[in-house]
Amino acid sequence: MKAAVLHAPNQPLTIEDVAINKPGPREVLLRTAFAGLCHSDLHFIEGLYPIPTPVVLGHESSAVVEAVGDGVTYVKPGDHVITCLSVFCGTCPQCLTGHPNLCENTEVKMLPGVARRMTWKGEQLNQAFNLSSFAEQMLVHENATVKIDPDIPLDRAALVGCGVMTGVGAVFNAAKVEPGSTVAVIGCGGVGLSAVNGAALAGAERIIAIDTVASKLELARELGATDTLNVSNADPVKAVREMTGGGVNYSFEALGTKATAEQAFQMLRGGGTATIIGMVPYGVKIELHGFDFLRDRKIQGTSMGGNRFRVDMPRLLSLWRQGRLKLDHLISGKLKLDQINDGFAALKSGAPVRQLIDFAA
C-alpha cells in the first residue's frame, strides 16, 4: 500500500510502498476513505512533540472494513467506520468509571514505538496514535472504530473522528457549558469552530469567536457565534473583558500556544472555567497569577473532548442529519495523498479550516 512517511522532524513526508500485516486477534484491517490534516499532526512534523520515526501519522479518518481477525465481534467486512485515537479496553479503571478516552491498558492503547503492524524496506515502521491514517490501509484494534450508517458521507464522517468530537466534546463533556452562559473560543480552525457550534447547541447566550483570519470569523458566525473578534492588532483579553463587562463564564483555547492558553484563563470572570484544547508544545510551561484563582477561576485540559466515542460520535452525526451540527462548512478542500506536503504548508499558513486526503482520488 501507499503511505506518507515522516522520516525525521522538519522533513517533508515521502510517499512510500509499505507492507501491512494481516489482522491478528481483535484487529481490523481498514481501507482508508478520508483522512483529515490536523494541527496535531503538524506538531509532530515540526518536532514540537516527540515520536519514534520513521512513522505514518494521521488520526482523523473514515474507512471501510476489509478484513477482521479472530475474536472480532463488533464489525464485519463492508462496514463503514470512523476511527478514533481514543482506543479503549473496556476493563481498566478509567474505562469502568466512564473515562474510556483515558484508557490505561497499554496492550490495547499501545505506547509510541510498540506497535508492530507495518514494515518499510523490511524494517519496523511506527504507527501513530494506534491508527496511522495517512495510508491506504490501517490495521487497528476493533475498539478504535465506531460503526456508522452506510448512507453517511465518509468525508463528513471523517471530520467527527477528531476535530468535531474534540471541539463539541470539550463543550459538552469537559466544560459542561450551561444555557445562558457567555463563551469565548480562541482559534477558529476545525476544532475551534466545532467548539463554537457546540456552545450554540448547549444554549450559550453569547459566543465570542476569536481569530486573526477574517474568513474564519465569518464562518464562525454561520456556526453560531454571536460576536467575532479579529485580534490581528488587538489585545483579546482586554477586548473580551470590555465586551462582556468583566469576562466570560467559559473559554476554550484551540490553537495550542503558551500565550493563548494564558489568555483563555485571563479572560474569565469569577467562577469561570478555561478549557485548553490545543496541544501546547511539549515542555512549554503555562504561567498564571496565583491571585487570579481566588475568585474560583479554573483551568483544565481535555483529551479528545472527554469522549465516549461509540456513543458520542453517532449522536453528533444525528445532530448533523437534523441540521443542527454543521459539518459541510468545515471542509476547505480535498487532496490526493501525494499532495500532503502542500496541504500541511497551507495548514501552517492558517488559511484552511480542514483539508481531507481523499484516497479514492
Decide if pLDDT at 351 tops 90: no
Q: Tell me, what's the pLDDT at 285?
A: 95
Instruction: For the chain, give every domain's residue range.
Output: 2-151+327-358, 167-303
For residue range 232-244, list pLDDT tens digits in order: 989 999 999 999 9
Q: Tell me, what's the pLDDT at 270?
A: 97
Provide mean pLDDT across the span 202-229.
Answer: 97
Q: Which residues have CB under 8 Å from 51's CB, separation 6+?
A: 6, 44, 112, 126, 128
- Provide the pLDDT confidence category of residue 47 given band limits of 50, 70 and 90: very high
- Separation of CA 308 from chain center: 14
Task: Look at residues 13, 198, 314, 237 and name the one whose alpha carbon lies nearest to residue 2.
Answer: 13
Decide if pLDDT at 350 tops 90: no
In whole numbers, what is the pLDDT of the chain averaged over residues?
96
**Distance (Å, whole) CA 350 – CA 17:** 31
Enter the DSSP assignment of 165. H
Q: Tell me, what's the pLDDT at 361?
A: 82
Q: Tell me, what's the pLDDT at 8?
A: 97
**Distance (Å, whole) CA 64 – CA 81:** 6
**Distance (Å, whole) CA 8 – CA 53:** 6
Task: Look at residues 303, 190, 182, 162 and name the one whose alpha carbon lies nearest to residue 242.
Answer: 182
For residue range 248-306, list pLDDT tens digits in order: 999 999 999 999 999 999 999 999 999 999 999 999 999 999 999 999 999 999 999 99
Q: Tell me, what's the pLDDT at 177?
A: 98
Provide mean pLDDT across the span 194-217.
Answer: 97
Pick the CATH number of 2-151+327-358 from 3.40.50.880, 3.40.720.10, 3.90.180.10, 3.50.50.60: 3.90.180.10
Report residue 330: phi and psi, to 5°: -85, -20
Active-site residues, by number, are 38, 40, 43, 59, 162
Q: Tell me, what's the pLDDT at 181?
A: 98
**Distance (Å, whole) CA 326 – CA 164:** 9
- CATH fold for the domain made of 167-303: Rossmann fold (3.40.50)
Provide mean pLDDT across the span 32-52.
Answer: 95
C-alpha cell at 146: 465506531
- Give percent above pLDDT 90 in the chain: 97
Enter the DSSP assignment of 7. -
Provide mean pLDDT across the span 128-137.
Answer: 98
Q: Tell me, what's the pLDDT at 153?
A: 97
Q: Tell me, what's the pLDDT at 276?
A: 98
